[in-house]
Amino acid sequence: MIDNLKPINIVKQTLSDLVSSSEVKESLSDLIIGATTGVIAKNIFIGETHNPISKISGMLIEMLVAKNVTNNAEQIKSIGTSIWNKLTQRINHN
C-alpha cells in the first residue's frame, strides 16, 4: 500500500494508464504520421541547404505539412486503407 504512494510509482501508474488509452494511441500515431510526412516533404522540396532563407522555408513547409496531415489523419488513413485493399485484391486475383 505504501509503495503505491511513492512518487515514482504514481508516475509509472499514470504513464501506464496513459499509454493504454486508445485515444492517446490514436493521437500519438496521428502525430507521428504528421511529423514524418512533414520531414519527408521538407526533404523533397528543400533538401540539404546552407542558405538560411531556404532553411526557414523548409521549416515552414515541414510544419504546414505536418499540421495538415495530423489534422486530416483519419481521412488519409481511410484513403490509404482503401488503396491497400485494392492493391491486395489485385495481387490475390493474379
Domains of the chain by residue range: 10-93
Give the per-residue pLDDT at 28.
Answer: 82
CA dihedral 51, 55, 60, 65 (to 10 degrees): 120
Give the per-residue pLDDT at 24.
Answer: 74
- The residue among 57, 59, 70, 66 whose CA lies nearest residue 28 is 70
Q: What is the pLDDT along the chain (94 residues), one digit of tens a residue?
A: 667 777 888 888 887 877 777 777 788 888 888 999 999 999 999 988 899 999 999 999 999 999 999 999 889 889 989 998 998 888 877 6
Give the per-residue pLDDT at 56.
Answer: 94
Give the per-residue pLDDT at 27.
Answer: 84
Q: What is the DSSP letter of 4?
A: G
